[in-house]
Structure 1
Amino acid sequence: MSSGFVGRRVELALLDSVCSKANADNRPAAALISGVPGSGKSRLLAELRSRRRATHVLGVVGYESAFQVPLGAAANLLRGLGKVSDAGETLREFLFSPNPVDDRSLEPLRLFEAARRALLGLEGSILLVADDLQWVDDLSLALCSYLVRSAAEEEIPFAVIAATRPTSRGLAF
């Protein structure tokens, strides 16, 4: 039996206001949730995802066992961007083609630029939910940063809500 979401109305309202600000300003807006293990960070993110009416919801999740896997945490983000018509096709070819165009296709800047073009192909509001930042690999963090900067340059409504344990790595996001 699953229990309903209890408490955290203030926190949820604050996160919702960050998303609304991104939409109203056509610019990125972000919030970082920090707390000890078991404090409800992931549950708060899940509740936000279920309540928020963003046109596109993308996700990044860090796992301790995959911390050393480049772009491992961004796999779902990249799959989501790969679904964008036209621009997403280039990204899909870079990442998932059995016969890559060339062996340079996974160079970070080329990959980031393909993800950026796919992001620009999205219409409407975008919500990026990032969980367990303390376990997100460096390349996934760099990709997220690149996409946020791109959204700022292009005036895209892009809300980023992230959760981490109180570590210097997670809080650096």
Structure 2
Amino acid sequence: MSQKHMVTEEFIEGMMGEISTAIIPYQQLFSSSYREFMRYYPSFLPKFESHNSYPVVVDAFIDYDELISNYYFAQGFLGAAGGLLGQAVKPAGLKQIPGLADLEQVLEQTCRSYINEFPPEDHAEFNSQFARKKRAIEDSWEYYYLAGYEIMFTLLKRAGYELSDKPLKKLYKAMWAHNNILR
């Protein structure tokens, strides 16, 4: 009999979907790159969906987004657990994410191929919108890190560990400062 895991890929995908749903309102309020992407998205969407191959571009962006969000979500878990153990875990930069450079190449090639299906006068608009989407994804890391940190922090407190709220408050303060939010 083969070993079945209690936590399946489907469970993780569902959990990350729920976390993304919880994060989006914060991005709408606080992320300038997310708001910039969304400002142009409604007018861009009809042209984007006009070719049958647009799902390939969507899939490439999803793969890129999932790797970044999963990585920083896990880093948030490690950050909270490391704080309990007295071992500070600082999030690494995007360039340190295993496999991200390869996915970035695939994303760029996919976008380039897709853009070439359109007349040259449309290329600048597509390049700009794809760059805005990529920037919004890359800027989302801190939201996933914070979500992972908060979940692990809460689980540890529920398990009876005495934890200071100072590191969590410091994370929020850094996030607000990064997004030019006065709190």
TM-score (norm 1): 0.34
* Structure with the bigger percentage of helix: 2
Higher CA-based Rg: 2
TM-score (norm 2): 0.32
Higher relative contact order (CA 8 A, sep 6+): 1
